[in-house]
Amino acid sequence: MDEKRKKSNKNALMVFLFALSLQSVSEMIPNIVKSKSINKLDSFIMKKILLMAVVMLASVASYAQQAVGTFTLQPKIGMNVASLTKCDGCDPRIGLAAGVEAEYQATDIFSVSAGLIYSMQGNKAKEEGVTLTTKLDYINIPILANVYVTKGLAVKLGVQPAFNVSDKQKLSGGKASVEAEDVGAESFDFSIPVGLSYEYNNVVFDARYNFGVTNIADGGDSKNSVFQFTLGYKFAL
């Protein structure tokens, strides 16, 4: 009975830490976006998630929703809040994120996953009533290690190669607009995804940050910086 009570208290602590962290992030993001300092999210979100991961991993138990040895397939859809580094005063581009991820439950607490995600990225820059929207669309291939730290809750970290499938810029002001294609984006991109997911009855909410490593264009120094929020459903294979 004492063991069950200890486990229950540990679960409650982990859920509390998760909720507290999400509240802190949700309070911080609007202020950063409002101040047009979206690039500050790079260091903030990495520190926040990694700190929470360290705290949670200190008390890992058997918390996966899926049985050991299970393969699952997860169609998912959601949104990106995307920006580019080295672009002070720019606004994020809100875009679609949709695709599928496969996951193998290796142990009670550890799984590996890989996916294909269509991801609309880029940013917006406004000046004197004119808006320049950079549209960078990719096929992302996230390869992740997932550690379940409480029932259904996983911390994830991995690598993400990506391939650009569309690069456009749209200049608009008033009722007029003009769009140019093939604006010089690199065909290959690489980022480090870090985040959290919560699964309940096979429904999965996923929140991650994709930290860009490579420059988006040859000769430039801007990198992708993307928050991604998705909802999916796991099918056992």
Closest C-alpha to 123, from 88, 164, 98 = 88
Residue 226 near residue 80 (C-beta atoms within 8 A): yes
Domains contained in the chain, number: 1
The pLDDT, as a whole number, for residue 34 is 47
The pLDDT, as a whole number, for residue 98 is 98
Separation between Cα atoms, residue 117 and residue 137, nearest integer Å: 10
Paired tokens of 100: 């599928």
Q: Say which CATH number the domain at 140 has.
A: 2.40.160.20
The pLDDT, as a whole number, for residue 32 is 46
pLDDT tens readout for residues 132-177: 999 999 999 999 999 999 889 999 999 999 999 999 999 998 888 8
Paired tokens of 64: 């996966």
Closest C-alpha to 160, from 86, 64, 228 = 228
Residue 177 near residue 170 (C-beta atoms within 8 A): yes
CA separation, residue 52 to residues 6, 43, 155, 161, 212 (Å) = 21, 14, 9, 25, 21
Enclosing domain of residue 74: 2-236
Separation between Cα atoms, residue 61 and residue 10, nearest integer Å: 10
The pLDDT, as a whole number, for residue 115 is 98
Residues of the chain with pLDDT under 70: 1-63
